[in-house]
Amino acid sequence: MPDNVVRPQTRLGGLLVSEEAVYGLILVAGMVLIGSERADEAWETMVTVLVTVLVFFAAHVYAGTLSRMAGGKGSSIPTALGGAVRHSIGLLVVAVPPLAVLVVGASGVITPDAAVWLALIITAVLLIVDGWLMAAARTSSFWVRLLGAAISGAFGAVLIVLKVLIHH
């Protein structure tokens, strides 16, 4: 690989450069969108997003554990479970920034509507950054990195456009 391919240097960087991170961000954005339209209070949106992320994380860990045990590797339950948690944890980590914004909105520091919009924007920006980093981990091509950022960001953009269409 070329010298200017970016490899994650930290555990956090490795969590962000994963399919789980992209999936988690899209899940969070979708739940912010749905939760904000159905909830009467800001805290309800935050709880909806949090519970949904936790359920999807648990389901991902469960499926990963079963897969590791059935995959012919002969993994014990604790080994398979640990591997599944390590593989899936990015889904939880990426939910923290948008959830933090929703908590701020639920506490009244900013309006609930502003919190929802900010959470969606943060999620879209994180998708762009994640797309760039995932491409950068595999290639030194600026154009491929830009394409990775654009494709990932497009998922967030679609959800923001849906919010605009639903909101008005």
Instruction: Please state the pTM of the whole predicted model.
Output: 0.84
Whether 104 maps to a domain, the answer reads yes
**Higher pLDDT pick, 1 / 143:** 143
Structure tokens at 165: 């269409």
- Examine residue 81 and state whether it is found in any structural domain, yes or no: yes
49 CB-contact burial (10 Å; exposed 0-12 / middle 13-18 / buried 19+):
buried
Do the domain assignments include residue 2? no
**17 part of a folded domain:** yes
1 within a domain of the structure (yes/no) = no
Residue 29 within a domain: yes
Give Cβ neighbours of residue 101 (< 8 Å, ≥ 6 apart): 115, 118, 119, 122
Residue 23 lies in domain: 11-167
Residue 9 has pLDDT above 60, yes or no: no
3 domain-assigned: no
User: Is residue 6 situated within a structural domain?
Assistant: no
What are the pLDDT digits (tens) for 25-75? 999 999 998 888 877 778 888 999 999 999 999 999 999 999 888 876 667
Structural domain tally of the chain? 1
Q: Answer whether 135's CB lies under 8 Å from 153's CB.
A: no
